[in-house]
Amino acid sequence: MAYHKSTCCLKSEDSDKLHALFHGVLSRIGLEDLPSQIYVMLFIGLLFSFGRNLAFPYLAMYLTGASANGGLEIDESLVGFMIMVGGLAYTLALLFTGSLCDRFGRRKMMVAFIIPQIFLTAGYAHATAFTEFLLIYVTTSVIGAFYDPAYSAMIADLVEPRRREEVYGLSYMLANVGTIFGPLIGGFIAGTSGYSVIFIYATIFTIVCAVIILMLIKESYSVSESSNVRLGQLTRVFKDRLFMVFCFAGALTNVVYSQLYGLLSVYTAHLGFDPSFLGLLFSVNGAMVVTLQIPIRKATMRIGSTRAFIVAQILYAAGFAYFMLSRDLFQFLTGVVVLTLGEIIFFPASSGFVADLSPADMRGRYMALLGLFFGTGGSVGSLIGFTLYDILPNKGIIWGILGTVGFATLIGYLYLLIVVERRKKLSSKTEVDD
């Protein structure tokens, strides 16, 4: 009996220690004392990111690759057109799905996305003609616009305002954990079993996410709100010259950045690299975002958004231009490391810049228009990149062209810096005079 009692006490102490250890780990990464549904949502985001990154970085390689390697030998310009149409469809859909999210509820929108996503993801493994892939890709893009605002709105519903930015950042970091391991494993599977198989694995992860959403996610929305975003409402935002310069510059930045997720896979295959090579590049990209996001974000806040844009754009342009000279693993990794530093600097700075620039009562319209410009830049950039790649005899020249576009875009960000600094001086002078 005494032994049994002692064992029970030890078990209780061990349990307390484990609980304390678990709470300490959650505290270190900023996950302590959150609503239980938030943990479920973050886990869904991690699973979905892993499944998606298992397959979709290799879609362009799958479509354009030689049949001897399991590819479908579809023309590069057609693949660029497909990515452009899908990107535009997603961007335009986002202008309306936010209001649908408020009208029908967050959970319903997430379910409306995840169920069709199962069949669409499986469709990539069985489609053979370009028209089939085009239809699947565009449909996937449209329903993807259902999920993103619902997921973000549910976090806002469940988390108190002071911790929302923290939870959004954690969600972004966990998604990049999927980016670390998904492409690496997907590249190995594609290299050994073929491209179509990785979409079957991605479908399995989507099914798991669907089951979790249906069983564990509860509706967080209860109060009816009017948040319709109509195109007519966006016209007032066009009068903000500084914001419009940022939108155009950001669109050009996305023209270059969009090539990371499509054209780079085709180019590395052209040079004879195995799919697992691309997976390694994406894994390095994701690992850098996860480990460096917080310290770089703090540094970005110290130098200010407009200076951060200039630093980020130089890194983007240099990283992509360096691919023109890259021929081995180390050289491609160098380019990815440089452009990823630009990515980590740019995105937090852009969110802060728009938040500071936009009036509180027009913030939704600013964000909608910004998303439209950024999305259009990425979509059109894919078409331009694949079209030029198709017609250029020396395929590596495309990275020199993209680097030139990146460096030329610095003009827009330098203009932003000059205007913002001038406004700060005028504001300081006015305060002194007063």
Q: Which amino acid is it at 197?
A: V
pLDDT of residue 154: 84
Distance CA 187, CA 198 (A): 9
Q: How many CA atoms lie within 13 A of 62 on its CB side?
A: 24
Convert the pLDDT of each residue in 126-136 to its tens digit.
998 999 999 99
Distance CA 367, CA 390 (A): 34
Q: Residue 138 has which token pair?
A: 């565009």
Distance CA 4, CA 8 (A): 6
Q: CA quadruple 289, 292, 293, 294: dihedral positive or negative?
A: positive
Distance CA 340, CA 334 (A): 10
Distance CA 154, CA 106 (A): 6
What is the share, in percent, of the chain residues with pLDDT greater than 90?
35
Provide the whole-model pTM: 0.73
DSSP-H helix ranges across 271-328 = 275-303, 305-322
DSSP state of 56: G
Convert the pLDDT of each residue in 215-258 to its tens digit.
999 888 765 444 455 555 556 777 788 889 999 999 999 999 98
Is 268 in contact with 316 (CB distance < 8 Å)?
no
Burial 143-167 (b: 16+ CB within 10 A, else e): bbbbbbbbbbbbbeebbeeeeeeeb
Nearest to 236 by CA among 359, 405, 110: 359
Residue 33 banded pLDDT, cuts 50, 70, 90: confident
Residue 86 has pLDDT above 80, yes or no: yes
| E strand or H helix that includes residue 132 | helix 130-158
Neighbouring C-beta atoms of residue 396, cutoff 10 Å: 16
Q: Where exactly are the structural domains of the chain?
A: 35-219, 229-422
Least confident piece of the model among 187-201, 253-267, 362-376: 362-376
Distance CA 429, CA 15 (A): 62
Distance CA 106, CA 39 (A): 17
Q: Which amino acid is it at 340?
A: T
Sequence-ordered list of residues with C-beta below 8 angstroms from that of 136, at least 6 positions apart, any chain: 120, 123, 124, 127
| φ, ψ dihedrals at 129, nearest 5° | -100, 155
Distance CA 431, CA 113 (A): 51
Distance CA 404, CA 321 (A): 8
Distance CA 397, CA 389 (A): 8
Convert the pLDDT of each residue in 325-347 to its tens digit.
999 989 999 999 999 999 888 87
Sequence-ordered list of residues with C-beta below 8 angstroms from that of 302, at least 6 positions apart, any chain: none
Q: What is the CA radius of gyration of the chain?
A: 23
What is the architecture, at CATH level 2, of domain 35-219?
A: Up-down Bundle (1.20)
Task: Please tell me whether residue 65 adopts helix, strand or coil conformation.
Answer: coil
Convert the pLDDT of each residue in 274-320 to its tens digit.
888 888 898 898 889 888 877 887 777 788 888 989 999 999 999 99
Burial of 222 (C-beta count, 10 Å sphere; 0-12/13-18/19+): exposed
CA distances from 223 to 50, 82, 140, 226, 312 (A): 34, 39, 29, 10, 41
CA distances from 85 to 44, 142, 208 (A): 28, 10, 29
pLDDT of residue 26: 53
Residue 105 banded pLDDT, cuts 50, 70, 90: confident
Cα torsion at 346, 350, 351, 354 (round to 10°)? 180
Candidates 1.20.1250.20, 2.30.42.10, 1.10.3720.10, 3.40.640.10; CATH matching 229-422: 1.20.1250.20
Neighbouring C-beta atoms of residue 179, cutoff 10 Å: 23
Distance CA 249, CA 6 (A): 69
Q: Which amino acid is it at 217?
A: I
Tell me, yes or no, if the two domains 35-219 and 229-422 fold the same way: yes
